[in-house]
Structures are given as C-alpha cells and as structure tokens.
Structure 1
Amino acid sequence: MWRRKPAVAGSFYPSDPGKLAADIDIYLNNAGEVGINGELFGLIVPHAGYVYSGPVAAYSYNLLKGMGVRVAVVLAPCHRARFDGASVIPSGQYTTPLGDVTIDEAIGSELVKKTRMKFIREAHDSEHSLEVQVPFL
C-alpha cells in the first residue's frame, strides 16, 4: 500500500498535531457559519501556506458542515512534475500530522480503469496543492 508522507508539514502548515488542529479550529471559527442558496457541487479552495490561505480555505470548508460528506474528490495542480494528463492516487493513504486518511480504492481504481488518468508518483511526492487540503477534510 502506498503511503503519501507529508512534504510541506512544518513549512506550509504546522507539523505539530496540536498546533495544526488549533490553527484549523481558529480558521473555521473565524470564518463563521456560511450558507448557500441551492446545491453545493464543489469548492474552489486556495492551496498556499496556511498563513496565507487558511482563512479563505476555512470559509470554503465551512460550507460542508452538516452535509454528511463521506468522500471528497480533490483536483489540484502539479507544481513539481511535468506530464500530460492527470495523475490519480488509486489506493493507499495520505499521512498528515492529524493522522492517516485512506484513499477510496474503489473510486481511485475506477478512475484509472475508465479514464486516461494514471498514477504518476512524481506528481505527488513533493506536491503541496493537494496536501494542504487534507487536514481541513
């Protein structure tokens, strides 16, 4: 099983679990309750270091409160590797300071089987854009 270890914990966001959880709570509380008219299909969330993007990310993620979301599909750019198409992690875990998040193998494998997506390890190893989303989820 592939385990994606944090590449930017300690620089883009705290590597200490207590500090990270506290920071996320502060961002979410400061963003306040937000509502939408209609259905929520997706979110557009920034992917910079939390000192820059945390408050805006929290505003977006607060929209998910009470929705019972069990699976999130995160689309993110790749800054570190050059390749055609898109890369998907078909199975495994994303390790964060807050614990491991299991990748939905059924969905990941289906994306590889039924689309032109493939797993390109270099696209994920040191990439921050998806990693900074996982602790909020």
Structure 2
Amino acid sequence: MVVRKAAVAGSFYPRYKPDLLRLLNESFINDQFGPGEELKSSNQEQRTILGGVSPHAGFTYSGCCAAFTYLNLFKERVPDTVIILGTDHIGYGKVALMREGKWETPLGYLEIDENLSKEILKNSETIIDDE
C-alpha cells in the first residue's frame, strides 16, 4: 500500500496531533479573523453546499480563513469525500492523482477514495496516475 508521507509536518503545520488540534481549534474560535465558533457537525440529509475552496498557506497566514470553509461544510454534515488539490510550486511535472493508498497526517491516515480516483483517471485526458 502506498502511503504519502506528511512531508511538511513540523514546518507548515505542527508535527504532533495535540499541537495540530490546538491550532485548528484556535483558528475556529478566533473571533477577530476566524468564524468565532467551534467546529461541530450535524447530520443533515440534504446538502446545500457541495464544495469549498480553502487556502493552502501555513496556519499562521490562512488558518482562520480556511476555518470559515470547513465550518460551513461541516455544519451540514461531515463530507463523504474530500478532494485535496496540491500545488506544484516548482512548475515541473504533470497533473497527477494517487489512485490508491493513504495520506499520512498528524491526525491519522486519510484513505484515498479509489473508486473516485479511477473514475477521474478514466475520464481525464490531462491527469496521470501518480504511481
């Protein structure tokens, strides 16, 4: 099984789970720049929000801004699938997708939705399989 390592843990975000949870919570409860409330989810049957775009800068720069996106998504219910788009800061290579495996994070492992990955790869002329 392929595991994508948390390459920048300890750099752009904390390496350890308790530290990351504290920082996440602070981003949500910050009432000056963040939403000013804790992240809670409900189990609404119907979704009104189908997705969101969140900044990828370090928490210091964008944590509170990102909290607004996640707060609104989770208010309805925990999403079934989350698509993570990574940025290529170097400018080399093609658009790639991990077809299977896991992403390692300080909060645990994220399972890749293999069915969705296969459908995206099958229907895209641009995205390649990042084996």
Give the TM-score, by structure 1 length. 0.75
Question: Over residues 60-109 of structure 1, what are the superposed CA-to-partner deviations in whole Å (9 max), with x where a residue is unaligned?
Answer: 1111123221111233432135134x211111100011110101011011
Measure the CA separation in 2 of the matches of 1:96 and 1:81: 25
Aligned pairs, how many? Answer: 116
Instruction: Return the structure number with greater relative CO, CA threshold 8 A, min gap 6.
Output: 1
Measure the CA separation in 2 of the matches of 1:17 and 1:114: 37
* 2:103 is equivalent to residue 94 of structure 1: yes
Would you identify which runs of 4 or more consecutive aligned residues in structure 1 move more than 4 Å? Answer: none
Measure the CA separation in 2 of the matches of 1:119 and 1:80: 19
**Is the Cα contact below 8 Å between 1:91 and 1:104 reproduced in 2?**
yes
Report % sequence identity.
Answer: 34
Shift of 1:55: 0.9
Q: 2:112 aligns with which of 99, 103, 109?
A: 103
**Is the Cα contact below 8 Å between 1:46 and 1:53 reproduced in 2?**
yes
**Is the Cα contact below 8 Å between 2:3 and 2:103 reproduced in 1?**
yes
CA-atom RMSD in angstroms: 1.9
**Is the Cα contact below 8 Å between 2:99 and 2:130 reproduced in 1?**
no
Measure the CA separation in 1 of the matches of 2:111 and 2:48: 27
Gaps of 5+ in 2: 38-46
Give the TM-score, by structure 2 length. 0.78
Matches within 5 A, 1:74-85: 74-84=84-94
Q: 2:23: which partner in 1?
A: 23
Measure the CA separation in 2 of the matches of 1:67 and 1:74: 20
Question: Matched residue of 1:101: which SS?
Answer: strand
Q: 1:128: which partner in 2?
A: none
Measure the CA separation in 1 of the matches of 2:13 and 2:129: 26
Q: 1:125: which partner in 2?
A: none
**Is the Cα contact below 8 Å between 1:90 and 1:119 reproduced in 2?**
yes
